Structure 1
Amino acid sequence: MTGKSGPSGGGERVHRPPRALASLRERLRDTFWFAPVTGLVCAVVLWWVLSDLDTGIVTHLKEEGAYEELGDLLAFAVDARTIVTTVSAAMMTFIGVVFSISLVAVQMASGQLTPRVVRIFVRSGISKLTLTVFLATFAFSLLVLTSYEGGPEPDPRRVTSAPLLQSLLTLGLVGLSLLLFVAYVSSTLRLMQVGPVLDHITRESLRALARQPAGTAEEPPPGPGTAHLVHRGRAGVLREVAVARLVRAARRDGVVLRLVPRIGDFVVPGTPVLAVHGEAALSPYALRRAVSVGVERALHQDPSFGLRQLSDIALRALSPSVHDPTTAVQCLDRIVQFLAVAVHLPLAPLHHRDRRGDVRLVQEVPGWTDLVDLAFEEIRWCAAESPQVTRRLLAGLDDLLLLAAEERREPLLRHRALLVAAVERTVHEAAGRAFALRPDRQGIA
Structure 2
Amino acid sequence: MSDWMVTQSPAARRRPRALSPLREHLRDTFWFAPTTAMVAVFVVWLGAQALDTAIVEALREEGDHDTLDELMRFADDAKAVVSAVGSAMMTFIGVVFSISLVAVQMASGQFTPRVVRLFVRSRITKATFAVFLATFVLTLLVLTAFDSADDPRAVTSLPLVQSVLTLCMVALSLLLFVLYVNTTLRLMRISQVIARIATESFRVAASMPAPSAGRETAGLGAATAWVPHEGRAGVLRDVHIARLVRVARKHGVVLRLLPRIGDFVVPGTPVLAVHGGAAPPRGALRGTMSVGVERTYHQDLGFGLRQLADIALRALSSAINDPTTAVQALDRIVQFLAAMSRHPLDSALHRDRGGAVRLVQPVPGWTELVDLGFTEVRGCAAGSPQVCRRLLAGLDDLLLLAPPERREPLLRHRELLRQEIALTAPTPADRAFALHPDRQGIGG
Which residue in 1 is equivalent to 2:4? none
**3-state SS, counterpart of residue 360 of structure 2:** strand
**3-state SS, counterpart of residue 359 of structure 2:** strand
**AA in 1 matched with 2:157:** S
Question: Is residue 104 of structure 2 the alignment partner of residue 69 of structure 1?
Answer: no
Alpha carbon RMSD of aligned pairs, Å? 1.6
Shift of 1:11: 6.5
Which residue in 1 is equivalent to 2:211? 215
Shift of 1:93: 2.5
The answer (yes or no) to whether the contact 1:36–1:135 under 8 Å persists in 2 is: yes
Q: d(CA) in 2 for partners of 1:138 and 1:374?
A: 47
**AA in 1 matched with 2:302:** S
**AA in 2 matched with 1:210:** A
**AA in 2 matched with 1:358:** A
325-334 or 90-99, which moves further after superposition? 90-99
Q: d(CA) in 2 for partners of 1:10 and 1:426?
A: 45
Q: d(CA) in 1 for partners of 2:10 and 2:99?
A: 49
The answer (yes or no) to whether the contact 1:217–1:348 under 8 Å persists in 2 is: no
Deviations 1:43-81 (A, max 9, x none): 211111111110110110111122222222222221111
262-271 or 154-163, which moves further after superposition? 154-163
Which residue in 1 is equivalent to 2:5? none
Aligned pairs for 1:278-357 within 5 A: 278-357=276-355
**AA in 2 matched with 1:73:** L
**3-state SS, counterpart of residue 157 of structure 1:** helix
Question: Is residue 252 of structure 2 the alignment partner of residue 242 of structure 1?
Answer: no
Question: CA distance change for structure 1 residues 390 and 415 in 2, over 3 Å: closer, same or farther?
Answer: same
Deviations 1:103-134 (A, max 9, x none): 11101110000000001011100010000110
The answer (yes or no) to whether the contact 1:214–1:348 under 8 Å persists in 2 is: no
Which residue in 1 is equivalent to 2:263? 265
Question: CA distance change for structure 1 residues 10 and 198 in 2, over 3 Å: closer, same or farther?
Answer: closer
Shift of 1:361: 1.5
Which residue in 1 is equivalent to 2:435? 437
Shift of 1:391: 0.3
Q: d(CA) in 2 for partners of 1:72 and 1:231?
A: 70
Which residue in 1 is equivalent to 2:225? 227
Which residue in 2 is equivalent to 1:5? none
Which residue in 1 is equivalent to 2:28? 30
**AA in 2 matched with 1:116:** R
Q: d(CA) in 2 for partners of 1:374 and 1:90?
A: 49
Aligned with 2:383 (options 382, 385, 402) = 385
Q: d(CA) in 1 for partners of 2:412 and 2:325?
A: 25
Shift of 1:217: 3.9
**AA in 2 matched with 1:320:** S
Q: d(CA) in 2 for partners of 1:120 and 1:137?
A: 25
Q: d(CA) in 2 for partners of 1:109 and 1:10?
A: 36
Q: d(CA) in 2 for partners of 1:439 and 1:235?
A: 45
Question: CA distance change for structure 1 residues 202 and 49 in 2, over 3 Å: closer, same or farther?
Answer: same
Question: Is residue 116 of structure 2 the alignment partner of residue 118 of structure 1?
Answer: yes
Shift of 1:414: 0.8
Shift of 1:259: 0.6
Question: Is residue 192 of structure 2 the alignment partner of residue 196 of structure 1?
Answer: yes
Which residue in 1 is equivalent to 2:153? 157
Identity %: 64
Aligned with 2:175 (options 176, 179, 189) = 179
Which residue in 2 is equivalent to 1:395? 393
**AA in 1 matched with 2:214:** E
Q: d(CA) in 2 for partners of 1:369 and 1:120?
A: 28
Deviations 1:159-180 (A, max 9, x none): 1110000110111111111111
Shift of 1:195: 0.5
The answer (yes or no) to whether the contact 2:382–2:421 under 8 Å persists in 1 is: yes
Deviations 1:174-227 (A, max 9, x none): 111111111111111111110110001101110110011102242342121122
**AA in 2 matched with 1:235:** A
Aligned with 1:105 (options 94, 103, 106) = 103
Question: CA distance change for structure 1 residues 349 and 217 in 2, over 3 Å: closer, same or farther?
Answer: farther
Give the 4+ runs in structure 1 shifted more than 3 A. 9-14
Q: d(CA) in 2 for partners of 1:158 and 1:360?
A: 70
The answer (yes or no) to whether the contact 1:258–1:276 under 8 Å persists in 2 is: yes
Question: Is residue 359 of structure 2 the alignment partner of residue 361 of structure 1?
Answer: yes
The answer (yes or no) to whether the contact 1:216–1:349 under 8 Å persists in 2 is: no
Aligned length: 433
TM value normalised by structure 2: 0.94
Question: Is residue 156 of structure 2 the alignment partner of residue 145 of structure 1?
Answer: no
**3-state SS, counterpart of residue 104 of structure 1:** helix
